[in-house]
């Protein structure tokens, strides 16, 4: 259903992007181990340096008159930086004493109990993330059906959303740790107090960042394209995006809180049904038959983010009653 130019260019880039996926998986697995052993600051520094290097390399590979490769250069440059980050993290892991104490420096096949925990928490979390990513990918497809300009507008908005979302994700990771610790306390209200504090922080941060994006909407959108019409269309929707990130930040915070309570597949089922089922259907209906265009895609995501946050809070309150 995509225009031939969009399908041909996107398909080629997708093939190249797939080559770097194993690096991405290994990178995040190593990152989470290091964060669990208290090396979060070192990891943050590595990623910050990697982001700077990625910016410079992408400028060279995308825009340089000699080496300029366009979008292909961006994919290849990002893959190269990911490999460099992964190599650095592996070195940190092998030199980390605490990681060595847990046997990270030597290979041993996981036992049944380890696999059970990986299945209930790790695979469940991975399935949830995969489903959510697939749902947002479907919105990109819908944007392509609307036309090339609409696809460009949605891509700008999605990049702004993804950038702001990283802050909420960081709050979410900290939330899962705090809730897991609170779960071990004798007071069953401790997990709820941890969640309330995390939600307050998430709403404050996401609300503030969304407000800034809305105030400087023209500047933000203009940073992505020289096409004035596309930038103006994207800027006009950033107000809706600011509201979206508020609810999206809330849902990812509660989602990680559920992981802190060791809730695996029920939380995953809620996410999969809401994102793959409700969001894709609602966004399509609003955007295409409803004639809302890109705004309909954003509105569908906003409604579902609020729905997921509400359902997970209900689930959280039910689970915490079981905490002794």
Q: What is the pLDDT of residues 305-319, one digit of tens each?
A: 999 999 999 999 888
Residues 196-220: what's their mean pLDDT? 94
**216 has a pLDDT exceeding 90:** yes
How far is the C-alpha of 49 from the C-alpha of 63, rounded, in Å? Answer: 21
Residues 299-308: what's their mean pLDDT? 96
Out of 35-39, 139-143, 157-161, which region has the weakest mean confidence (pLDDT)? 35-39
**254 has a pLDDT exceeding 90:** yes
The better pLDDT of the pair 111, 162 is held by 162
The better pLDDT of the pair 306, 97 is held by 306
Which pLDDT score, from 0 to 100, does residue 44 have? 82
- Going by the DSSP 8-state scheme, the letter that residue 106 receives in this structure is S
Closest alpha carbon to 38 in 181, 185, 177: 177
Which pLDDT score, from 0 to 100, does residue 65 have? 59
Residues 234-247: what's their mean pLDDT? 95
CB atoms inside a 10 Å sphere around CB 312: 26
How far is the C-alpha of 305 from the C-alpha of 238, rounded, in Å? Answer: 17
**280 has a pLDDT exceeding 90:** yes
Provide CB contacts within 8 A for 241, sequence distance 6+: 157, 160, 161, 210, 213, 214, 298
Which pLDDT score, from 0 to 100, does residue 116 have? 72
Dihedral sign for Cα atoms in the order 234, 272, 130, 37: positive
146 burial level (CB within 10 Å; 0-12, 13-18, 19+): middle
Out of 125-134, 196-205, 228-237, which region has the weakest mean confidence (pLDDT)? 125-134
How far is the C-alpha of 252 from the C-alpha of 199, rounded, in Å? Answer: 10
Residues 257-286: what's their mean pLDDT? 91
pLDDT band at 275 (very low <50, low <70, confident <90, very high): very high
Residues 248-270: what's their mean pLDDT? 89
How far is the C-alpha of 311 from the C-alpha of 287, rounded, in Å? Answer: 25
Which pLDDT score, from 0 to 100, does residue 190 have? 80
**249 has a pLDDT exceeding 80:** yes
Which pLDDT score, from 0 to 100, does residue 3 have? 60
The token pair that represents 122 in the structure block: 């790790």
The better pLDDT of the pair 12, 311 is held by 311
pLDDT band at 87 (very low <50, low <70, confident <90, very high): very high
Helical spans, DSSP H, in the chain = 4-19, 21-36, 40-63, 71-95, 97-101, 112-117, 124-146, 148-183, 190-215, 217-222, 228-235, 238-260, 265-272, 280-287, 294-320
* CA distances (Å), origin 88, targets 74, 93, 101, 187, 298: 21, 9, 20, 41, 38
pLDDT band at 72 (very low <50, low <70, confident <90, very high): confident
Residues 109-131: what's their mean pLDDT? 74
């Amino acid at each position: 259903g995509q225009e031939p130019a969009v399908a041909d260019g996107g398909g080629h880039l997708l093939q190249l992007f797939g080559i770097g996926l194993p690096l991405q998986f290994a990178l995040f697995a190593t990152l989470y181990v290091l964060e669990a052993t208290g090396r979060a600051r070192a990891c943050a520094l590595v990623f910050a340096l990697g982001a700077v290097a990625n910016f410079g390399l992408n400028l060279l590979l995308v825009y340089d008159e000699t080496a300029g490769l366009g979008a292909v250069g961006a994919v290849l440059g990002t893959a190269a930086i990911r490999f460099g980050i992964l190599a650095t993290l592996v070195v940190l892991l092998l030199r980390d004493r605490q990681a060595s104490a847990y046997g990270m420096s030597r290979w041993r096949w996981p036992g049944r109990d380890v696999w059970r925990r990986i299945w209930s928490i790790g695979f469940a979390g991975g399935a949830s993330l995969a489903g959510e990513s697939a749902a947002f990918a479907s919105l990109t497809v819908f944007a392509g059906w609307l036309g090339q300009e609409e696809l460009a507008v949605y891509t700008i908005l999605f990049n702004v959303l993804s950038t702001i979302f990283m802050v909420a994700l960081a709050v979410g990771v900290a939330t899962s740790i705090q809730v897991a610790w609170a779960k071990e306390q004798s007071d069953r209200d401790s997990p709820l107090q941890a969640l309330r504090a995390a939600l307050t922080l998430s709403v404050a941060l996401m609300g503030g960042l969304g407000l800034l994006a809305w105030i400087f909407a023209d500047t933000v959108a203009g940073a992505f394209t020289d096409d004035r019409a596309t930038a103006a269309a994207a800027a006009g929707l950033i107000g809706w995006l600011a509201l979206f990130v508020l609810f999206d930040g809330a849902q990812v915070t509660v989602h990680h809180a559920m992981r802190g309570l060791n809730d695996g597949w029920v939380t995953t089922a809620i996410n999969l049904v809401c994102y793959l089922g409700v969001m894709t259907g609602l966004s399509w209906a609003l955007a295409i038959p409803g004639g809302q265009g890109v705004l309909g895609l954003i509105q569908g995501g906003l409604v579902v983010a609020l729905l997921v946050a509400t359902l997970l809070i209900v689930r959280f309150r039910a689970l915490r009653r079981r905490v002794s």
